[in-house]
């Protein structure tokens, strides 16, 4: 299965697992982009996503795993993924 899931913190569509499954169990996956660890850095609360995102952007929006960063990466374009 090659489906990827979107990170609800930074909008990066590269998660191997859903951050939280139907039983609200965390994946404990770390987002390659923003470095957020689901289940460790929060419990799925939206305001924690927002705080983490704001801090991440304030600190330069650096990739947690820089070798996964696409060449044509665009932060603003990625953040638009978060708008429903």
Contacts with Zn ion by CB under 5 A lie at 7, 9-10, 12, 31, 33-34
Judged by beta carbon, residue 21 or residue 68, the one nearer Zn ion is: 68
Quote the least distance from Cβ 12 to Zn ion, whole Å.
5
Q: Which of residues 21 and 62 has its CB atom nearest to Zn ion in the complex? A: 62
Nearer to Zn ion, 26 or 33 (CB): 33
What is the rounded distance in angstroms from the CA atom of residue 50 to the CA atom of residue 8?
9
Measure the CA–CA gap between 77 and 44, rounded to whole angstroms. 23
Q: Return the bridge partners of 38, or none.
A: 42
Q: How many CB atoms lie within 10 A of CB 9?
A: 23
């Amino acid at each position: 299965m090659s489906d990827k899931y979107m990170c609800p913190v930074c909008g990066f569509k590269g998660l191997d697992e859903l951050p939280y499954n139907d039983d609200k169990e965390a994946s404990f996956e770390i987002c390659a982009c923003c470095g957020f660890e689901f289940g460790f850095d929060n419990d799925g609360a939206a305001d924690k996503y927002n705080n983490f995102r704001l801090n991440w952007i304030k600190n330069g929006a650096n990739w947690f795993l820089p070798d996964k960063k696409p060449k044509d990466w665009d932060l603003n374009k990625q953040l638009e993924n978060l708008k429903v």
